[in-house]
């Protein structure tokens, strides 16, 4: 008698993440202080994990968004963009009487940005473990976390919700973490982020974040220490491309030469490109190349998600765009 074969768990989503939609409203002109009357443009759909997931969906990945959203027009701006690009938002909780985070942005002449964030009575402040269905989390190949979201969820109620997500990840799945926090955050919240660092198979820090995260003197020391534990570390270096630490190996991918319009969302887009490359089974250097390309393209348009392209368009860019020397 033949033994009955055990059914393999079906993983419905390539990438799943948690976040809170927000909109950005930006100054049209640079070097204009917030306290001076002037024109704005927007609202643009935003929020780091929303950007990452939308870009990944346009690259052809099956994506799912968990979290909470407000019950207002600004929430519609983000959710319509996500669903229109194929992201499954059916498991997000829409909270009556709650609004959407609004961020006002202004730019200096050198491209640096200043933010005014309004999240009073936003849906994000009411997020709880009740908003997470473990069965949905368990259907993802990759579960992606953002340090920014973890820092927002530093209070006991929301921390419990994020830990519920982490503990619901399928044993067959992998976890990625984009640290995306500032120095003051990691010093105060190391205990919060440590379980996510420990579980992560892939870390995607920007320059300066790796050493903050690990408490080392240099990013290289931090990346090597994490790689020695079996993790992949992709160090985002902006105009110098990226370095990928995999075991004892370091792979480098050069950046692409572009005319920068708005750097908002570039790091999130890089994460989407990197996960897409891994899911496609590309060689590690090609994974970095794809991630650099997706991040670079994002910077060529005004608005956090407005530079997102489809996979064929990104490939055409890779084949024709100039690269900068390391």
**Could you please report the per-residue DSSP string of 234-289?**
EEE-GGG-EEEEETTEEEEEPPBP---S--TTHHHHHHHHHHHHHHHT--HHHHHH
DSSP-based three-state secondary structure for 175: strand
What per-residue confidence (pLDDT) applies to 7?
Answer: 53
Residue 8 lies in a domain: no
Mean pLDDT of the chain: 91
* Chain segment 307-319, per-residue pLDDT in tens: 899 999 999 999 9
pLDDT in tens, 42-51: 999 999 999 9
Domain count, the chain: 1
pLDDT for 6 equals 47
Show the domain range for 181: 13-318
Considering only residues 119 and 144, tell me which one the structure prediction assigns the higher pLDDT: 144
Question: Is 3 part of any domain?
Answer: no
Burial of 104 (0-12, 13-18, 19+ CB in 10 A): middle
Instruction: Report if residue 325 sits inside a domain.
Output: no
Confidence check: pLDDT of 5 > 60: no
Stated as kind and residue range, the H or E segment containing 25 is strand 22-27
User: Do the Cβ atoms of 244 and 284 come closer than 8 Å?
Assistant: yes
What pLDDT does residue 151 have? 87
What is the structure's pLDDT at 185?
A: 56
Looking at residue 95, what DSSP letter applies? Answer: P
The tokens for 123 are 């849906």
CATH code for position 276: 3.40.1190.20
pLDDT tens digits along 92-142: 999 999 999 999 999 888 878 888 888 888 999 999 999 999 999 999 999
Return the pLDDT at 118.
87
On whether residue 323 sits in a domain, the answer given is no
* pLDDT above 50: residue 161: yes
**Is residue 232 assigned to a domain?**
yes
Question: Two tokens at 198?
Answer: 């420990």
pLDDT average, residue stretch 139-166 = 94
Q: What is the mean pLDDT of residues 238-257?
A: 95
d(CA 141, CA 310): 21
* CB atoms closer than 10 angstroms to residue 254: 17
In the chain, the percentage of residues whose pLDDT exceeds 70 is: 94
231 CA to centre of own chain: 18
Residue 230 lies in a domain: yes
Which residues of 81-224 form beta strands (DSSP E)? Answer: 93-94, 101-107, 113-118, 140-146, 174-178, 202-203
**Cis ω before 209 (30° cut-off from 0):** no
Residue 243 lies inside a defined structural domain of this protein = yes
Q: How far apart are CA 137 and CA 11, in angstroms?
A: 10
Dihedral of the alpha carbons of 131, 136, 138, 144, in degrees to the nearest 10: -70
With cut-offs at 50, 70 and 90, classify the pLDDT of residue 2: very low
Query: What average pLDDT does this structure show over 274-300?
Result: 97
Q: Find the mean pLDDT for residues 24-40.
A: 90
The answer to whether residues 14 and 272 touch, using CB atoms and an 8 Å cutoff, is: no
| Lookup: tokens for 112 | 């640096």
pLDDT at 188 over 80: no
Structure tokens at 207: 């320059």
């Amino acid at each position: 008698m033949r033994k009955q074969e055990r059914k393999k768990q079906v993983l419905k989503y390539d990438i799943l993440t948690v976040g809170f939609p927000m909109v950005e409203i930006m100054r049209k002109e640079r070097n204009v202080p917030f306290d001076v009357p002037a024109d704005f443009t927007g609202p643009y759909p935003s929020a780091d994990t929303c950007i990452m997931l939308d870009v990944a969906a346009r690259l052809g990945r099956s994506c799912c968004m968990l979290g909470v959203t407000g019950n207002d027009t600004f929430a519609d701006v983000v959710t319509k963009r996500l669903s229109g690009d194929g992201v499954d938002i059916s498991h997000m909780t829409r909270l009556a009487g709650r609004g959407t985070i609004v961020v006002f942005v202004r730019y200096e002449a050198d491209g640096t940005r200043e933010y005014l964030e309004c999240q009073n009575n936003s849906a994000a402040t009411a997020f709880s473990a009740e908003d997470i269905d473990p069965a949905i989390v368990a259907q993802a190949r990759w579960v992606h976390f953002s340090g920014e979201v973890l820092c927002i969820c530093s209070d006991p109620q929301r921390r419990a919700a994020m830990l519920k997500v982490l503990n619901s990840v399928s044993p067959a799945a992998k976890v990625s973490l984009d640290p995306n926090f500032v120095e003051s955050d990691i010093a105060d919240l190391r205990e919060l982020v440590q379980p996510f660092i420990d579980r992560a198979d892939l870390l995607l820090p920007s320059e300066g974040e790796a050493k903050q995260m690990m408490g080392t003197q240099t990013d290289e020391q931090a990346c090597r220490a994490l790689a020695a534990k079996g993790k992949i570390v992709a160090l985002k270096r902006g105009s110098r491309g990226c370095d990928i630490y995999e075991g004892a190996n370091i792979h480098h991918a050069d950046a692409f030469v572009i005319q920068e319009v708005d750097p908002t969302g570039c790091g999130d887009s890089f994460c989407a490109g990197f996960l897409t490359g891994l899911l496609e089974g590309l060689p590690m250097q090609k994974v970095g190349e794809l991630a650099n390309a997706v991040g670079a393209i994002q910077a060529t348009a005004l608005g956090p998600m407005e530079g997102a392209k489809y996979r064929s368009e990104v490939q055409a860019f890779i084949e024709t765009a100039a690269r900068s020397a390391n």
